[in-house]
Structure 1
Amino acid sequence: MHTKYFLAGLLTVCSTLHAAPPADAEKKADTLLPKVVLVGDSIRLSYAPKVAKQLEGQVQIISAAANGQDSRNVLKNLPAWVLNKQPAIVHFNCGIHDIKKTIADGSFQVSPDQYEKNLREIVKQIRENTEAIVIFATTTPLHDQRASDYRKGRDYELLNASIQQYNAIALKVMKELEVPVNDLNAAIATPADGQSTDDLIASDGVHMTAAAQKVLANQVSETIRQYLK
């Protein structure tokens, strides 16, 4: 009888020793990984989970649940979304919301001059308050006809020419500030592997199809890997 209880106890101890680590131990291990903050609008929200999956065990991906919207809003929320996190890498974008153009007077939601100032201030604040490597992602292209049809009757328009205009501003700023650029616009505008831009942009002319989300996630993940110390 005593032998039976001894063997049962021994089996219990062995199974405990070989059991999977508790969830809280895994969570603690994750917090020791380098922090990478992703900032951006709904395009970022669509690829962020895939990036987190691809880089699982390598980095801790931090991606705010909120839509980053325009550069003014990113700047306003920078302390909560980025600075307080003290990340190793910040991968950010803003642009689509900035280029919303009011039909009545042709004004942008954020003017070109203000967009440039906001980008400079975003980079400045990140560099002054963290030791993070800053990476800027260009704004993805639009499909003009689809965007127009989907937003018929609204008081604003979204144009790919505006995306190009604002990306040019961003590229100038990032070159001057020596900020590396992840060209997500090119990934969609000139896709590889026989894909077409029309197949990558969704029916609303702005958002990404599942295939495009995969393309962006792959490129973002690869870019982050390049800058991991």
Structure 2
Amino acid sequence: MDPYAADVSAYGGWRGPGGAERDADGVRQGSHRARTVRRAGVTSQRGAEDVQPRASLLGDSICNSPGYSFGSGGYAPVVAVRLRDRGITVEPYRASGWSTRQFLESLGAGELPSTVDLIHFNVGLHDIARQDEESECAVPLDEYERNLRAIVALFQAGHPAELVWASTTPVLDARHQRAKRSVRRDEDVRRYNQVATAVMRELQVAEHDLYTVLRRAKLEVVLGPDGVHPSTAGRELLVTAVSDLLWARLGRQAAGAGQLPPSDRHGDPS
């Protein structure tokens, strides 16, 4: 049973492109802080919530799914529940089946997070998916690089928020192929992550290495039966890492917030 099911259900409120409800999928310090905005004293419909820092967690079902068939779920709903009483609001945003192509189309259509201090984002697992063993990745590596550059440019042009890129999480190849029609390979995850890292460092965007957060654990334990989505144990590692990161960056701004529980500090900036 999912230990967070009640909290996640109570949180609710996830939105996707067009506002519709949809079913979903260390840190290197970057210098891009793009004019972080403080909203205290600004007139808006949110009232008292304006003084609280806000973050958007963008990604596929690894990030934002409310629950998987085998009893775990994405890290974002749990991070939101964990931090809301500590003075940090996590803005809900969920999309299904995003590759960088769909991500870029959505952002280009104006589906950008609004009035947040930090955007934590990942795209990748749908880019590396293959229809079968003989097929190429859904999005070629050179296009993936171009799309990432365009995504960052849209964020930087349209939003006064700090950007944090989260690396794509590992895959257990054989387990995944037994459970899914599509083919995903951890080798491809590493290749695409390497390109993403180079892009983000060039563009001075901070990086959050979620690949390593799971990889340094035993993958057979922290990945679920489909070999790609996190188990309950894996989700807890991701929740801790992302919660710690948001606290490290936004905790000082959180009115009346206390300290996070002790953790292994996977998400601390370095």
**Are the aligned partners of 1:64 and 1:81 in contact in 2 as well (CA < 8 Å)?**
no
Map of 1:210 onto structure 2 = 232
Deviation, structure 1 residue 208: 0.5
Task: Tell me the equivalent position of 1:75.
Answer: 104
- What 5-or-longer segments of structure 1 have no aligned partner? 1-26
1:51 aligns with 2:79: yes
Distance 1:68 1:217, change over 3 A: farther
Structure 1 residues 137 and 68: alpha-carbon distance in aligned structure 2, compared to 1, 3 A threshold: farther
Distance change >3 Å, CA 107–CA 141, structure 1 → 2: same
The 5 A counterparts of 1:137-216 are 137-151=166-180, 154=181, 156-191=182-217, 196-216=218-238
SS of the aligned residue for 1:102 comes to coil
- In 2, the alpha carbon distance for the partners of 1:93 and 1:81 equals 16
Cα deviations across residues 77-113 of structure 1 (Å, max 9, x unaligned)?
2255434x13110000010000012337532211111
Matching residue of 1:227: 249
User: Which has the larger Rg?
Assistant: 1
Alpha-carbon distance in structure 2 between the residues aligned to 1:219 and 1:72: 27
Q: Are 2:59 and 2:94, in contact at CA under 8 Å, matched by a contact in 1?
A: no
Counterpart residue identity of residue 185, structure 2? L
Which residue does 2:37 correspond to in 1? none
- Matched to 1:220, the amino acid is V
How far apart, CA to CA, are the structure 1 residues paired with 2:111 and 2:239? 20
Unaligned runs of 5+ in 2: 1-45, 65-73, 254-270
Higher helix fraction (1 or 2): 1
- State the TM-score, normalizing by the size of structure 2: 0.68
Structural RMSD (CA): 1.8
Checking the alignment, whether the CA contact within 8 Å between 1:37 and 1:63 is kept in structure 2 is: yes
Q: Structure 1 CA distance, aligned partners of 2:110 and 2:244?
A: 26
Aligned equivalents of 1:81 and 1:222: distance in 2?
27
Which residue identity does 2:237 align to in structure 1? V
How far apart are the structure 2 equivalents of 1:81 and 1:221?
24
> 1:153-173 deviations in whole A, cap 9, x for unaligned?
x3x411111111110110010
1:141 and 1:160 in contact (8 A); partners too? yes
Match of 2:151 among 122, 125, 149: 122
Contact 2:133–2:183 at 8 Å: present in 1 too? no
Count of matched residue pairs: 195
| Contact 1:33 1:58 (8 Å CA) reproduced | yes
TM-score, length-scaled by structure 1? 0.79
Using the alignment, how far apart are the partners of 1:124 and 1:39 within structure 2?
Answer: 16
Within 1, Cα distance between the matches of 2:80 and 2:97? 18
What secondary structure does 2:155 align onto?
A: helix
Conserved in 2, the CA contact under 8 Å of 1:40 and 1:68?
no
